Amino acid sequence: MLGWGIAAALVGVIGLSTTLRSGDSLYAVATGAGEQRSVELADGSRIDLNGDTSLMLDRDDPRFARLDQGEALFTVVHDEARPFRVETGDAELIDLGTVFNVEREADAIEVQVAEGAVRYNDGEE
């Protein structure tokens, strides 16, 4: 009986170490319907997620976010040398010193700028 316990523990450790060594620095932040959540980033920026939102962030690049669905308000600490980027669908938004809201439903994307400006698909549109 003890042998099976040790084997199960080793499988768990091997699985965990494989996950940690995978090099994938993206991680998910999500909210359920009716739930809201704020995420403080290492650079001082903040993202406020509305209900039923799915966002991917990058541990290696705190100046990147990917909005997969839902709505998020980005309050970005401007850094001209390292612009903050948000990918959503086929679009890329680049911070130009801003507070902006992005909403994604299926193939529709809506961007509302409260302060500053956002560049949409830099060099393409």
Write out the two tokens for 95. Answer: 């911070």
Look over the chain and give the mean of its residue pLDDT values, rounded to a whole number: 83
First to last CA, the chain: 65
Query: Could you tell me the pLDDT band of residue 24, with boundaries at 50, 70 and 90?
Result: confident
φ and ψ of 113, to 5 deg: -105, 125
Write out the two tokens for 5. Answer: 């316990």
The predicted structure's pLDDT at residue 12: 44
As beta bridge partners, residue 103 has: 71, 110
